[in-house]
C-alpha cells in the first residue's frame, strides 16, 4: 500500500501534523523531495518538534523513515536535527532511518550562493529561505552535485573535489567576488558531517520495494504545496523540486510502484510565505487578526506569512495537480468567532471572471471575488465528532467540498494529535 500525503496550497497547510496522525497506520514514512527549507511542526505527547529534513514519522516508535533520492540534504543541518531529537528522547538509528544513496548533498557553498544572490537582488529580493535549495538543485541538473552514496568512500570522493572547487569558484569568486572554496575545506566537511551518516545510507528503492512486497504500508510525505511545485506552481515563486504526488514514487526511489491513494492537506484559509502573486491576500487589520489567530509565522524562518481567506480557484487547481482522492481540511478552529467568513470564489481579470486558475503571468492583475458565508461564534477546538460542530461550520465544510469538487475526510480543529474529526 502506497499513499502520498501532499499539500494542496502554498505549503504550511499542516502536513506535518497530519502525517504524524495518519502514520499510526503505516510502517514506513518517506520524504521524497526538497530539503531543509520547510519546517513541519508536530505537537504530540512527547513534545513540540520542528522537523526540517527528517520525515515526521520519526516521532512514532516502530515506524521506519526514509529520505528519498528526490531530496537535497544539508548534512550539517541533519546532524543538528538528529541531535535535537535524541536530546528529547527520540531514538534514531539505521534501523529506523534510511537515507538514499542517490539523494543530493546541499553544500555550504550552495547556502552561500543563495545569500549572495539575495544580496545582489537587494530590494528586488526573491524571498529565498537561504538554505541553498535552488543552487543545489541547479548543481544536480548541471551534474556537478555530490550524492549521499559518495560519503561511503571518502577516498574516491576526494578525487572529484579539486575539479568541483575550481568550477564552483568560477561563480563564487568571479561572479560574486566572495572567498574561494577549497578541496580541503570540502573534504573536512564531508569527514565531520558525512562520515557519521555512513551506516544510514543505502539503496532506499530496494528497501521500499522489498517492504512493499511484504505488504508493508508506505506513506510518502511531501514538503510544501502544489502551488510551489517547480512545474505546476506559481513559477518562479516556487520551490526548486516537484512536490506533486505523481512525483512521489520517483522521488522516493520506487518509480515502478503506483500510488494507491493521495491525501491532500488543505487549510481552511490561505497563507503564503515570501514573494509572489497571492490573489486572495488580506491586508491591514484583517490580515493581522487572521495571522495572529493562526500563528502564521514560518516554522523554518520565523517570517510572518501573508494570509487571506480560503481560495476556491487556487485550491481546486491544487487538488487537480495532486490528484487528491481525499482531503484533510486543517485549522478550521482558527476561523471561529466571526459572524461572517469570506471565501474567494473567483478571480476578476480586468472584468473577466475566472473560476479556473490562470497561467501565472496574469495573476498579478487578478482581483479576488469574495462570497460571504455565515460564521460561528463558539470554540470548536474540543469538537471530536461531526455532530459536535455548529451547523455553520458544517455548512462551511460542505461549501468547500462542493466548490472544489472534493471529498473532505478529516477536519482538524487544533494542533494536538487528537484534535481532529473524521467525517
Ligand atoms: P506544514 O509545513 O504543512 O507541516 O505546516 P506548518 O507546520 O508550517 O504549519 C502548521 C501549523 O499549524 C503548526 O504550527 C501546527 O502545529 C499548527 N496546526 C496544525 N493543524 C492545526 C489545527 O487544526 N488547528 C490549529 N490551531 N493549529 C494547527
Question: Do both 133 and 250 map to the same domain?
Answer: no
Q: In CATH, what number is assigned to the domain containing residue 81?
A: 3.40.440.10
Question: Do both 288 and 380 map to the same domain?
Answer: yes
The preferred substitution site among 12, 15, 17, 382 for testing ligand 1, maximizing ligand atoms within 8 Å of CB, is 17
With a Cβ cut-off of 6 Å, ligand 1 is lined by 7, 11-17, 38-41, 43, 295, 299, 330-331, 333-334, 412-415, 419
- Confidence check: pLDDT of 27 > 80: yes
| CA nearest to 185, candidates 164, 209, 213 | 164
Exposed (0-12), middle (13-18) or buried (19+): which is 15, by Cβ within 10 Å? buried
> What integer pLDDT is reported at residue 300 of this predicted model?
64
Instruction: Please state, for a pLDDT cut of 70, what percent of the chain lies above it.
Output: 99
- Whole-angstrom distance, CA of residue 248 vs CA of residue 262: 10
Question: Do both 90 and 235 map to the same domain?
Answer: yes
334 close to 294: Cβ distance less than 8 angstroms: yes
Question: Do both 137 and 254 map to the same domain?
Answer: no
Question: Do both 155 and 92 map to the same domain?
Answer: no
Q: In CATH, what number is assigned to the domain containing residue 377?
A: 3.90.170.10
268 close to 332: Cβ distance less than 8 angstroms: yes
pTM beyond 0.75: the answer is yes
Q: How far is the CA of 364 from the centre of ligand 1 (A)?
A: 28
State which of 264, 293, 314 marks the end of a domain: 264
Q: In CATH, what number is assigned to the domain containing residue 175?
A: 1.10.300.10
- DSSP line for 240-283: SS--SGGGHHHHHT-TTPPPSEEEEEEESSEEE-SSS--TT---
Q: How far is the CA of 253 from the centre of ligand 1 (A)?
A: 28
**Rounded mean pLDDT, 274-285:** 94
- Confidence check: pLDDT of 128 > 80: no
Question: Do both 310 and 399 map to the same domain?
Answer: yes
**Rounded mean pLDDT, 267-275:** 93
| Band of pLDDT at residue 188, cut at 50, 70 and 90 | very high
Q: How far is the CA of 318 from the centre of ligand 1 (A)?
A: 19
310 close to 316: Cβ distance less than 8 angstroms: no
Question: Do both 20 and 87 map to the same domain?
Answer: yes
- Whole-angstrom distance, CA of residue 371 vs CA of residue 357: 17
Q: Is the dihedral of CA 197, 21, 270, 324 positive or negative?
A: positive
- Whole-angstrom distance, CA of residue 322 vs CA of residue 315: 10
| Band of pLDDT at residue 299, cut at 50, 70 and 90 | low
Question: Do both 12 and 96 map to the same domain?
Answer: yes
> What integer pLDDT is reported at residue 221 of this predicted model?
93
State which of 248, 264, 280 marks the end of a domain: 264
How many folded domains does the chain comprise?
A: 3
> What integer pLDDT is reported at residue 362 of this predicted model?
96
Give the residue, by CA position, lying nearest to ligand 1 atom 16.
Answer: 415
Question: Do both 135 and 158 map to the same domain?
Answer: yes
Neighbours of 272 (CB within 10 A): 27
- Residue that has been written with the C-alpha cell 575545506 in this structure: 185
Question: Do both 21 and 97 map to the same domain?
Answer: yes
3-class secondary structure per residue, 208-248: HHHHHHCCCCEEEEEEEEHHHCCCCCCCCCCCCCCCCHHHH
- Which grid cell sits at 158? 576526494
334 close to 303: Cβ distance less than 8 angstroms: no
Catalytically annotated residue among 20, 40, 74, 333: 40
State which of 264, 290, 312 marks the end of a domain: 264
12 a catalytic residue: yes
339 a catalytic residue: no
Q: Are strands 270-272 and 306-308 parallel, antiparallel or unpaired?
A: antiparallel
First to last CA, the chain: 23
Question: Do both 393 and 310 map to the same domain?
Answer: yes
> What integer pLDDT is reported at residue 168 of this predicted model?
97
Give the residue, by CA position, lying nearest to ligand 1 atom 21.
Answer: 415
Q: Which domain, by its residues, includes 50? A: 2-102+201-264
Question: Do both 398 and 300 map to the same domain?
Answer: yes
Amino acid at each position: 500500500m502506497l499513499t502520498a500525503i501532499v499539500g494542496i496550497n502554498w505549503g504550511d497547510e499542516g502536513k506535518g501534523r497530519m502525517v504524524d496522525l495518519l502514520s499510526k497506520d503505516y510502517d514506513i514514512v518517506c520524504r521524497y523531495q526538497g530539503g531543509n527549507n520547510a519546517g513541519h511542526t508536530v505537537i504530540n505527547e512527547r513534545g513540540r518538534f520542528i522537523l526540517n529534513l527528517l520525515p515526521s514519522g520519526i516521532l512514532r516508535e516502530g515506524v521506519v523513515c526514509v529520505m528519498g533520492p528526490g531530496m537535497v540534504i544539508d548534512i550539517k543541518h541533519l546532524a543538528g536535527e538528529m541531535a535535537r531529537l535524541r536530546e528529547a528522547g527520540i531514538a534514531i538509528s539505521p534501523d529506523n532511518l534510511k537515507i538514499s544513496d542517490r539523494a543530493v548533498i546541499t553544500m555550504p557553498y550552495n547556502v552561500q550562493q543563495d545569500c549572495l544572490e539575495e544580496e545582489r537582488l537587494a530590494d528586488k529580493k526573491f524571498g529565498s529561505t537561504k538554505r541553498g535549495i535552488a543552487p543545489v538543485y541547479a548543481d544536480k541538473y548541471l551534474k556537478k552535485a555530490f550524492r549521499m552514496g559518495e560519503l561511503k568512500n571518502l577516498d574516491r570522493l576526494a578525487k572529484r573535489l579539486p575539479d568541483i572547487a575550481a568550477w564552483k569558484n568560477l561563480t563564487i569568486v568571479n561572479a560574486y567576488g566572495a572567498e574561494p572554496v577549497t578541496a580541503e575545506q570540502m573534504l573536512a566537511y564531508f569527514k565531520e558531517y558525512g562520515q557519521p551518516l555512513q551506516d544510514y545510507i543505502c539503496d532506499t528503492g530496494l528497501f521500499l520495494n522489498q517492504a512493499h512486497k511484504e505488504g508493508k504500508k508506505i506513506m510518502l510525505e511531501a514538503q510544501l504545496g502544489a502551488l510551489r511545485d517547480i512545474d505546476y506552481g506559481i513559477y518562479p515563486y516556487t520551490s526548486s523540486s516537484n512536490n506533486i504526488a505523481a512525483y512521489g514514487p520517483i522521488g522516493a526511489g520506487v518509480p515502478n510502484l503506483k500510488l494507491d491513494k493521495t491525501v491532500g492537506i488543505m487549510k481552511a484559509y490561505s497563507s503564503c510565505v515570501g514573494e509572489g502573486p497571492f490573489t486572495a491576500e488580506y491586508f491591514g487589520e484583517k490580515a493581522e487578526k487572521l495571522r495572529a489567530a493562526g500563528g502564521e509565522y514560518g516554522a523554518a524562518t520565523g517570517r510572518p506569512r501573508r494570509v487571506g481567506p480560503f481560495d476556491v480557484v487556487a485550491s481546486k487547481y491544487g487538488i487537480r495537480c495532486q490528484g487528491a482522492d481525499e482531503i484533510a481540511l486543517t485549522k478550521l478552529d482558527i476561523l471561529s468567532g466571526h459572524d461572517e467568513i469570506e471565501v474567494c470564489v473567483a478571480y476578476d481579470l480586468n472584468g473577466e471572471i475566472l473560476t479556473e486558475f490562470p497561467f501565472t503571468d496574469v495573476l498579478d492583475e487578478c482581483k479576488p471575488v469574495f462570497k460571504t458565508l455565515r460564521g460561528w461564534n463558539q470554540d470548536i477546538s474540543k469538537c471530536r465528532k461531526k455532530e459536535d460542530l455548529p451547523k455553520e461550520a458544517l455548512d462551511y465544510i460542505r461549501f468547500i467540498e462542493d466548490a472544489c469538487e472534493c471529498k473532505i475526510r478529516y477536519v482538524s480543529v487544533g494542533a494536538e494529535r487528537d484534535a481532529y474529526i473524521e467525517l
